[in-house]
Chain A
Amino acid sequence: MTKFLAVGAILAASLAAPQMAAAQSETVKQIEERGTLLCSGHNGSYFGFVEVNDNNEWKGLDIDLCRALTTAILGDPDKNQIVPLSWAQRFPALQSGDVDLIIKATGWTMGRDTEQGLQFSLPYFFGGAQLMAHGDLGVTEAAELAGGTICVEAGTTIERLVANYLQTENIEHSMVSYESAAELRSAYLANRCDAFAAWGPFLAVLRATEIDNPDAHVILGDQLSAEPIAAAMRQGDEAFVDVVNWMLAALLIAEEEGITSANVDEMAATPPNPRVARLLGAEPGMGERLGMRDSWAREMIAAVGNFGEIYDRNLGKDSPYKLERGLNNLWSHGGVLYAPILD
């Protein structure tokens, strides 16, 4: 029955849209009534994004974003419940209400956006094909691989991307494709290839976990493609999308302004500029327009840190994977992440 009511409410809401500027999101209302946020986990482990630590607690980039959203809405990072989901199960589980949103290394595609009835947040991660090379070659970018052998997995999109990229850049090379990822890996380790191409985070994981001497391998700076990873939500609750977008935006603004989990209280007490004052709730405006508390961003940053801290802890320099920020840096540091304007 509640489902039909919800559908009815959504229909009514869409008819009444113009007057609804500051109305609270249905999903947020449900989360508040329930007292927990239902996030997507994984039926296993997805390195760097969703893992389980030695104390049987979830961790990872996606889990930290869930904790951030939990703090923003409910004021406590632990008031979430991670529902383990398989890849195939995630969208049906979202539609049937088993989770409130999906933050699970999910790419933003047209099919998902339209046919599957989802809506996506701002992208929070860009993953794409990259190259890894033996460190003793002394290369740092693809152009220096001229004349070398590059290995790829046969029949993947990566294969096409690499061929395109190297041709466009006019880099002489010979390409060898292998049937399976395992063959590819052993061929690379046996020095049969100078470099090997795969999804960037996958290369970082491989380097950190299955190669005896991680320092002897370099992930090259060239980004051959960039697939946006974003949070997915059910269609029809625009106010919830706003909440998630501003959660991500607040994490990015905090990084731009140098607000960390350590100095957030200090910054809130003596804000260096009006933007920080507004972000941390020293000046009103941050909460009311989303139907939340003015202090939500401050509490969130105190609990999980800014975006850079989250990235470094799970994928970057403080994690075993040591994946460079690259595209996933702020626009001001050569990346493509940016926050909307906080007015």
Chain B
Amino acid sequence: MAVAEIIPPSRFEALGKLFMKRGFGSPVSVAISVLVFAVLGWIAWSFLDWAVFRAVWRKENVENCGHGGACWAVIDARHRLILFGTYPFDQHWRSTLAALAIVVTVVLSCVPAMWAARRLAVLWIAGFASYYLLMEGSLLGLQQVTTDGWGGLSLTLFLFAAVVLLGMPMGLGLALMRRSQMPVVKWFAVIIIDTIRSLPLVTTLFTAAIVVPLFLPSWLDGDKIWRVIFGFALFFACYQAEVFRGGFQAIPRGQFEAGKALGLGYWSILGRIVLPQVFRHALPSTINMVVVTFKETAIVTIIGFFDILASGKTAFGTADWAPYYIEVYLCVAAIYWVFIFSLGQYGEYLKGRMALAER
């Protein structure tokens, strides 16, 4: 509220005045401000000088690299490797379309108009099926590409979306089981959640990828990628269950009792009274979990998947491009930033939307 009082109708003017007053009010502030701006300006200039003015952009000009400027030629030459991993070169359109299908699926799932169980189910099945059909290819009569060949950004997006979309319902299920009155169900959930949470993610994924096939019969093995997605989703679900539990605890018992008194059944109380509030309370931590999960997908490189970070490392993994690893890492960081920043902004939007309910 305090800010609203200080800022009169024209916000820019007011901010400018505030800035002058705080930054240049006394000789000491002037000195500090000038020094700070000079240092910031120098840093910004050196970065721009390196990244833009003296940079080499095209792979044809690679011999000019290494003279004090960034060598974006490495991105020009190797961007397909970063984006698609070792997916066959002439089939990259499929990987592009598949990645778009995942992005569209995720974006649509974020739109409030889609928030109905049936619509979401149809959307997710359609989204993941088109990803799989395009990437694998044999069912569409295209060249078959097994999951070992999937990689880069398309793989990272797919892993992320699959883990979150599978893990979210699993997490809700576990949270409900943990609150159950039936001891067997309750203790089952408690044991699962606490066991998985006390194991590092790498161990869980390593077990799913490598240890499980040693004792499962081979017809149950499935492809490594599905086992890994399931293991990762289980890990996500166990943490998410605890986030939901926090949401449940914020709701007074009286609401359940009031619901029962009105003659509503368990599912009606849950679906119409409790869950909407649980989601609202759990939202900030949920967004945290989702963002962390996006970044954690990079761990799959340990079990031999070519996610975007691994394919980035491979991009500078030949003698020609080895000196330009900073450029590759910056490019990969920028891609991560775009996705995670968008997720964060969406979280802000959701918070604003849900704040309406509190008025």
A residues at B contact (CB < 8 Å): 1-3, 41, 43-47, 51-58, 81-86, 88-89, 92-93, 95-98, 205, 208-210, 212, 319-321
Inter-chain contact B217/A86, CB cutoff 8 Å? no
A54–B74 Cα distance when bound, in Å, is 10
A43 B81 Cβ-Cβ under 8 A: no
B304 touches A51 (CB 8 A): no
Min CB distance A336 to B, Å, is 26
Find chain A residues with CB under 8 A from B322 CB: 47, 205, 208-210
Nearest chain B residue, comparing its CB with the CB of A321: B319
Main DSSP-derived SS at the B contact region: helix
Instruction: Let me know if B304 and A83 touch, CB within 8 A.
Output: yes
Contact check: which of A86, A89, A96 meets B213 at CB < 8 Å?
A96
Contacts of B210 in A (CB 8 A): 89, 92-93, 96
Known A1-B217, A56-B80, A92-B214; contact A85-B319, beta-carbon cutoff 8 A? no
Contacts of B12 in A (CB 8 A): none
- Residues of B close to A57: CB separation below 8 A: 86, 89
Chain A nearest CB: distance from B215 CB in Å? Answer: 10
CB contact between A82 and one of B148, B211, B319 (< 8 Å): that residue? B148
Q: Is the CB of B211 within 8 A of A92?
A: yes
| 8 A Cβ contacts from B53-85 to A | 66, 77-78, 80-81, 84-85
Chain B residues 115 to 169 lying within 8 A of chain A, measured CB to CB, are: 146, 148-149, 151
CB neighbours of A97 from chain B (8 A): 213, 218
Q: Is the CB of B317 within 8 A of A84?
A: no
> In the complex the two chains form, is B317's CB within 8 Å of A45's CB?
yes
* 26 A/B residue pairs, CB under 8 Å, sorted by A: A2-B218, A43-B301, A43-B302, A43-B310, A44-B301, A44-B313, A45-B316, A45-B318, A47-B319, A52-B86, A52-B315, A56-B80, A56-B85, A84-B148, A84-B305, A85-B304, A86-B303, A93-B210, A96-B213, A98-B213, A205-B319, A208-B319, A209-B322, A209-B323, A320-B318, A320-B320
Contact: B81 with A56, CB < 8 Å? yes
Distance in angstroms between the alpha carbons of A153 and B313 in the assembled complex: 24
- The residues of A that contact B81 with a CB separation of less than 8 Å are 52, 54, 56
User: Interface readout for B170-213 with A: 1 if CB under 8 Å, 0 if not?
Assistant: 00000000000000000000000000000000000010011101
Per the bound structure, the CA–CA distance linking A243 and B70 in Å amounts to 49
Q: How far is the CA of A152 from the CA of B319 in the complex (A)?
A: 23
Which residues of A are found within 8 Å of B80, using beta-carbon distances? 56
Q: In the complex, A63 Cα to B9 Cα: how many Å?
A: 68
In the complex, are the beta carbons of A47 and B148 less than 8 A apart?
A: no
Contact indicator A45/B314 (Cβ below 8 Å): yes
B255 to chain A, nearest CB (A): 50
CB of B232 closer than 8 Å to a CB of A: no
State how many angstroms separate the Cβ of A43 from the closest Cβ of chain B. Answer: 5
Instruction: List the B side residues contacting A3 at CB < 8 Å.
Output: 217-218
| CA distance in complex: A162, B316 (Å) | 31
Q: In the bound complex, how far is the Cα of B307 from the Cα of A84, in angstroms?
A: 11
Contact B302 A54 (CB under 8 A): no
